[in-house]
Amino acid sequence: MSRMGSLRIFAVAFGLTTAAVGGVALAQTQGGPISALKGHDSNAPIDVASDRIEVQDRADRAIFAGNVKVRQADLTLDTERLTVAYTSAGNLEIQRLDASGGVTVRSPSETARGDFGVYDLNRRLITLIGNVQLQRGDSRIAGARLTIDMNSGRAVVDGGPAGVGQSGGRVTGHFIVPQRRGS
């Protein structure tokens, strides 16, 4: 199978509209679903639970540590450490979540994992960095960085630069192919 054929399977398996994988653009899927996070309500309340919290009011941030669980609508994030950046002029408004110590983001149909994560609520972007894995059903893709634009439903996985313990700039995937009857 050609590289573009494999990449199209990725697009269908993950329901992506347009994505760049290892520098190769994927065509928009015809009438298929888009990323599960498109349309996610980033204005929904955010619930956080952890073993410890430190509020640094002068710096407009709060640091949650130990078994951190975050929920916003049907999106969850699990990590060991979370820094919440906010503005406190009038109402408290969360601007950004920075997660470290292993990060898992789940929607009803997708699970993404990485070493570090950033959720920019203003730009509606989720970025995972380091040992990234994206899974939908039994299909999965791995790389160095994943960026999900919740406005467009566009997800981009890249392999990153070659380095110690890294895949040398490559993205890898395993895709389940529908079983067909006959030949």
Q: Look over the chain and give the mean of its residue pLDDT values, rounded to a whole number.
A: 80
Of 27 and 12, the one with more pLDDT: 12
Of 35 and 171, the one with more pLDDT: 171
Lowest mean pLDDT among 33-37, 67-71, 126-130, 177-181: 33-37
Nearest to 20 by CA among 152, 164, 163: 152
pLDDT higher than 50, residue 34: no
Strands (E), 41-162: 46-49, 52-56, 61-72, 75-87, 93-106, 111-120, 125-136, 139-149, 154-158
* pLDDT tens for each residue of 120-176: 999 999 999 999 999 999 999 999 999 999 888 888 999 877 665 555 678 999 988
User: Can you give the pTM of this predicted structure?
Assistant: 0.76
- What SS3 state is found at 59? helix
Mean pLDDT of the 100-123 span: 95
pLDDT higher than 80, residue 57: yes
Of 178 and 37, the one with more pLDDT: 178
Classified by CATH at the fold level, domain 3-174 comes out as lipopolysaccharide transport protein A fold (2.60.450)
Distance CA 81, CA 167 (A): 26
Nearest to 50 by CA among 33, 72, 21, 70: 70
DSSP summary character for residue 179 = P
With vertex at residue 21, the alpha carbon angle to CA 18 and CA 26, rounded to the nearest 5 degrees, is: 35
**What pLDDT shows up at residue 163?**
62
Ordered DSSP codes for 113-133: EEEEEEEETTTTEEEEEEEEE
The model's confidence at residue 18, banded by pLDDT at 50, 70 and 90, is very low
Lowest mean pLDDT among 3-17, 53-67, 104-118, 126-140: 3-17
pLDDT higher than 70, residue 36: no
Sequence spans of domains, the chain: 3-174
